[in-house]
Amino acid sequence: MDGNRRWARVHGKEIIFGHAFAVDHVVEPLVDEAINIGISCLTFWAWSTENWDRSKIEVDAIMTLFRKLFIRHIQTLHKKGARVVTIGKIEAFPEDIQQKIAESVELTKNNTRITVVFALNYGGRDEIVRAINNAYSNAKFQMTNDKFTEEDIEKNLDTHGLPLADLIIRPGGERRLSGFLLWQSAYAELYFTDVLFPDFSPEELQKAVADFQSRERRYGK
């Protein structure tokens, strides 16, 4: 979800205005379009493990936006039939936000129209390290031939039970993954655009999906 801060500056607004606009005007229309297209799982990387290094004012303001997201907007997603899931180290957030996240997951757990994943305090390297540690410390874990297998790691990832990534879209002009879904993106198609996230409309999603559909996926063959 890159470009919120730059978008705010372009519009002569405070930085937080870009984040707020994304939450209030971009996320739900993209979910609606994903449902229309037939996408079964859509992930938003809303907060990375590195984002805590931003100014306290910005961090506090974004925490307030998360409270708004998990109080107001989750109810709307629930009505749309969306199942809400989170990945990342949720325990790093204030307790009230953790509680709202848990309530949102519980409220929507039986919805089947689409799965909407929010990556919160998420980093791909951190996820893999935690998966290895979890596998190693699990009392029921038995290594195959005294070695970890891909299955051992995968079943301890935050995304266990979710589909692997088919398409990763990065708005905002950067041409890198920056640690997003490192394990899950092995055969994902990548789509980069200069469009800032607050301007990433359902039409932009259609463009990305059309580009994806035009590609021949070889899976290493």
Residue whose token pair is 């500056």: 9
> Average pLDDT by consecutive 10-residue portion of the chain (221 residues)?
96 96 96 97 97 95 94 94 98 96 97 98 97 78 68 93 97 96 96 98 98 89 70
In angstroms, rounded to a whole number, what is the distance separating the alpha carbons of residues 164 and 183? 9
Q: Structural domains in the chain? A: 4-208 (3.40.1180.10)
Active-site residue, selected from the candidate residues 24, 32, 51, 134: 51
Scanning the chain, the segments in alpha helix (DSSP H) are 4-10, 15-25, 27-37, 56-68, 74-79, 95-108, 124-137, 150-154, 202-213
Active site residue 194: no
Q: pLDDT value at position 149?
A: 85
Q: Is 32 a catalytic residue?
A: no
Residue 164 to residue 186: CA distance in whole angstroms: 9
Alpha-carbon distance of 190 to 124, in angstroms, equals: 16
- d(C-alpha 1, C-alpha 10), whole Å: 17
pLDDT at residue 220 in the model: 73
Alpha-carbon distance of 98 to 104, in angstroms, equals 10
pLDDT attached to residue 175: 96
CA distance 32 to 56: 33
Count CB-CB contacts under 10 A for residue 143: 11
d(CA 90, CA 102): 10
pLDDT of 218 reads 82
Query: Of 2, 126, 152, 158, which residue is the catalytic one?
Result: 2
